[in-house]
Chains A and B, each alone.
Chain A
Amino acid sequence: MQLLRQRLAKPLSQGVLAGVLCIYIALTGMMEAFGEREIVTGVLDMGKVVLLGPFVGLGLLLQQRAPNRRVGWIRVLAACLAGIVATGLFILFINAISIRHMFTHASPALVEYMTMGQVAPAAGLGLFAVAALAAGAVGSGLALMPAYWRNTIFMAALLVVGMALLSELISQVLRQILNGRPDRLLFSQGALRPAVATIAVAAVFAWRGLAPRIRLRSRLPQLEPERQRQVSLAMRGAGVLVLLVLPWLVGSYLSEVLANVGLYLLMALGLNIAVGLAGLFDLGYVTNFAVGAYLMGVLTNSGPQATGEFNFWLILPVSVLAAMFTGLLLALPVIRMRGDYLAIATMGFGEIIRLLALSDWLAPLIGGSQGILFIPKPNIGAFTFQTPQHLFYIILAASLVMLVVINRLDLSLTGRRWMAIRDDETVANAIGIDTTWIKTLAFTLSAASGGLAGAIFASKLGTIFPHSFSLLISMNVLCIIIVGGMGSIRGMVLGTLVLIGVPELLREFSEFRFLLYGILLMAVAIYRPGGLMPARARHYRTEPVPQPAGGTPATSSSAASG
């Protein structure tokens, strides 16, 4: 008994943890909400994935860490049973006693969902137990098979889930390219048809089993530098071409999503100067966004706050300059602060701006809580950028310009000065960098992009209200930078697509967006402080120095940590 307790204590507690995770997911309402999103029609939905996922993980982890198979199976069995008992007790509890007045999601519908749709609790619990045990067994099986095939299974699963979750996007593109409703062949009500899922899985297996391992990129570094440049130029050209036709491929609604992604990308690129390059933790980025938006709104609108009714293109640079000026003004008092105090102070600025925009004091000028209405869309001559598709091009152009600017800044001497300050301000100061000026510059330039995004935002929406400028905007942008990878431009693009684009596509999940952001932030801080796509460490090399005859040419190289 003593021995048994010693050996099984850990698996049992891990099993209970998995059960607690299940209960947590159920109580936050995630399980039911995800349950509405089917992946394979009639077979699997997203809720079942999160219900049984912890058990698969349990099997995988315990089996991998076990000294041999027999011990592994016993541990997995014990852990799964513990998890099942914990979850089962919870199901019985909320079935017997209603706690709905407290936990809104602990409803009979939840019980029904967790017991696989059975009405009789005993049968349902049995079914749940069998499913959980099977999930544990699947996890163990995955742990026991060769890594190559395990990865193949993960790829297949990812493909199926990805296709199902992005069904709306895929259908839209298919409908634009082909006539009729070709998407009906693949999906029924947003879920993959079972046959299609089978074919997809089979295709992945066939590819991994039959085809030699193709490495697409690996040949690039072997080419001559001249060829390399041509290839990368061609790839960039193709990328821009795809972006140009994208809004017409994905239709009006998804273009709206793309436009939002673009606006956030603009802001992320801007904030990246302060946070990623110069290491200035700015939690009040929304200030710049608000200044750009309000300036555009006030100077172009034809509503009650009409002042001038200027043209969009005239006000766009003015908004950017105004945002830069605000950035400069707000940077001056906080320029001596370091680290966390700077974060809190800038957050204070962001909130002050929102509260001022909301107040009656400035209402005659900027509309107060009523906001600013009737902001015109941008136009060139007689052509008006009316639809999201049109506006996408303006945002695309702005993003591309910012991308180029930031890429150049990243490589410039100023960029390296920022990085020096980020890595060690005292040392940077000691080697002769004017830290005050360079930090002010970072704040000012970072504000420009926010102002640009704000101005386009105001014109795109046509109306602005103070509640659009909450702390959550700053937090979203900050999340993009941290999750994507501080200082990494590719990271910004990935981060924006994942954090802004995906939640817009998956309506069922959008309620839990910030919950997932919170978990992501903690996970990134703990496991990947550099973000998903960390900035590459850059190696600076100087040209070989010609040596006096007899000596070998020396190559002095220094590595800058990025």
Chain B
Amino acid sequence: MPDRACFPVNGKPGPVTAAKPSPVATLVHRLALDRMSWVDVVLLLIRIGFISAVVIGSTRTFMEGRFSAAQWGTLISAGVAQGSIYSLIALGYTLVYGILRLINFAHGDVFMFGAFCTVFLAIWTSQQGILERAPAITVLSWILFAALISMSIAVLVERLAYKPLRNKPRLVMLISAIGASFFLQYTARGFFSTAFRSYPTVPGLDGRLELGQITVPHVQITVFAVALALMAGLYILVEKTRIGRAMRAVSENMETARLMGVNIERVIMFTFGIGGALAGAAGVINGLYKPQGVSFIMGFFPGVKAFTAAVLGGIGSVPGALIGGLLLGIFEALGPNLVLTGLGIPGSNQLKDVIAFLMLVLILIFRPQGIMGEAIEEEKA
């Protein structure tokens, strides 16, 4: 085993004869401290700072006993419902990133477009009384409609904004993606105006389920169930079907897949379509879950958060998107009350989005490969 201390460090010639290094030097070497640059020191300080903030904040909250177990349960179930919406959107990011190594910046707006177009159908079915008569089938038809709209939009965006840029640098694709995002947002604004529109209340979803001390609204259970069902469907599609195998092959190695006779363009289109459809479905269940309604800017925050979820779970991994979304939803629900209240920060619920963005930045800094993902090769951007 070569002793690294023998090699010249920083241009200074090291000891040529293998003198016995002192125990301190050995320790420094073992801990790799001799190869630490000042950036590592900064990163270490940031890491220590955040971990201690989280630990101190949550211990103090628990010591004070500010919230009861039932309250924690309510927060967690809300987090799970919100998180499953993030998961569905995150799948779109993950699938596309797996194949094109592209952050589809417009994905949040694909989600918005599906939700926005479907709100008109939803209002119409509610006015006609169809919703009253057959709520389950009507909601299912909304989901299908939104999936169809978002799927078309996603495929259209791929055609217009990304297809001409195959094999171009990734940053050029990112620029085009930002342009596509603006285009979709302000098209929706032009079409549907700036007003907020709400989904009608679905009968049967406004109740609550009592589980011991914890009460869970029906809508949260529905959201979670629909998301799980869709994700199970996607899992089967990716793992068991022919096109799913082609998708996996392309994401593994595009060139080899092409040589093996996989129609790359068809796979890319299909991937965008599937991602878009899931985002559209997420748009409807998001509309059911959030009473404040839909508007043309609604895509940005869920989009960024879903991207966070995708990175957290390990971008490129389908189960990772599920886990990342749920974790992000739960952290976001618990974070303000658990950590920020303990640290004595007022108005902690205003800072919910700060927690999401902080998580985004921290994950990108410290664990860009996420929980499930393998290390992303250091490709040139």
* Chain A residues close to B by CB (< 8 Å): 24, 27-30, 101-105, 279, 281, 332-341, 343-345, 347-349, 351-352, 355-356, 358-361, 424-426, 436, 471, 475, 478, 482, 512, 514-515, 517-526, 529
Contacts and interface: CB of A to CB of B under 8 A. Distances in A.
B345 interface: yes
Nearest to B353: A355
B186 A348 contact: no
Given A338-B380, A341-B368, A360 B350 contact: yes
Nearest to B307: A344
Interface of B: 37, 39, 42-43, 46, 102-103, 120, 160-161, 164-165, 168, 170-176, 178-187, 189-193, 300, 304, 307, 345-347, 350-351, 353-354, 357-358, 360-361, 364-365, 368, 378, 380-381
Given A348-B361, A436-B37, A30 B174 contact: no
Interface centre among A348, A349, A482 (most CB of B within 10 A): A348
B174 A340 contact: yes
B360 A525 contact: no
Given A104-B192, A340-B171, A344-B360, A361 B182 contact: no
B156 to A, nearest CB: 12
A29 B183 contact: no
Nearest to A517: B182
Contact of B380 (A29, A341, A426, A512): A426
Given A360-B346, A515-B186, 16 more contacts: A102-B191, A334-B361, A334-B365, A339-B170, A349-B357, A355-B353, A355-B357, A356-B351, A361-B347, A361-B350, A471-B300, A515-B182, A518-B183, A521-B182, A522-B176, A524-B179
Contacts of A349: 357, 361
B103 A340 contact: yes
A340 B380 CA distance: 10
A102 B190 contact: no
A356 B345 CA distance: 12
Interface centre among B174, B179, B364 (most CB of A within 10 A): B179
Contacts of A482: 175
B186 A521 contact: no
Interface centre among A340, A520, A529 (most CB of B within 10 A): A340
A343 B174 CA distance: 9
B347 A525 contact: no
Contact of A525 (B173, B185, B187, B354): B173
Given A518-B181, A518-B182, A281 B165 contact: no
A521 B175 contact: yes
Contacts of B172: 525, 529
Contacts of A425: 380
Given A337-B365, A339-B171, A518 B39 contact: no
Nearest to A29: B190
Contact of B39 (A332, A339, A524): A332
Contact of B351 (A336, A340, A355, A517): A355
The DSSP consensus for interface residues of chain A is helix
Contact of A522 (B103, B160, B358): B160
Contacts of A30: 190
A348 B39 contact: no
Contacts of A520: 179
A101 B193 CA distance: 10
A339 B174 CA distance: 9
27 contacts: A24-B187, A279-B171, A332-B39, A332-B42, A337-B365, A340-B381, A343-B171, A347-B304, A348-B361, A349-B361, A351-B353, A356-B354, A359-B351, A361-B351, A424-B380, A475-B178, A514-B185, A515-B186, A515-B189, A515-B190, A518-B185, A519-B183, A520-B179, A521-B176, A523-B179, A524-B179, A526-B161
Contacts of B304: 344, 347-348, 351
A423 to B, nearest CB: 10
Contacts of A478: 178
A7 B362 CA distance: 58
Contacts of B307: 344
